[in-house]
Amino acid sequence: MNLPTLKCRRIRGDMFEVYKLFSGKYDATVTNWLTDRHLESHYDLRGHRFSLYQSQIHYNTRKYNFTNMIISIWNGLPDTVISATTVDSFKARLARFWQNQEVIYNWKTDIHIRSRSYLC
């Protein structure tokens, strides 16, 4: 049937939500908890303009928090995907960028971005 796995759909949905947070689709006073982790572009030489800061995790309770699960995947996306002007164009660019990912149809694999593997 070649249906996307639940893991793939969850990761895609998380990326859509983060894009909506940064593109201003939600109220800015509510989304400060994530957008305050934004790195300034003149400090970061790699990645894209909406890179997020990954803090160290000392306890397992924070390990599975939404922000800590998505940061490494979000920061691994290229600027061509992030610079989309609408949510639909972001979805299309993300699908095109991830078209060869094995995680789409095999739930046991991980996302591979820039020669690194991320557990989700």
Residues 6 or more apart whose CB falls under 8 angstroms from that of 15 comprise: 70, 73, 74, 77, 94
pTM of the predicted protein model = 0.74
Sorted by where each begins, the domain ranges of the chain are 6-118
DSSP labels, 25-46? -S-TTTTHHHHTTBPPTTT--S
The string of pLDDT tens digits covering residues 102-112 is 778 877 777 76
How far CA 67 is from CA of 37, 57, 64, 76, in Å, comes to: 9, 11, 8, 14
In this predicted structure, the answer to whether residue 115 has a pLDDT above a threshold of 70 is: no
For residues 35 and 26, which has the higher predicted lDDT (pLDDT)? 26
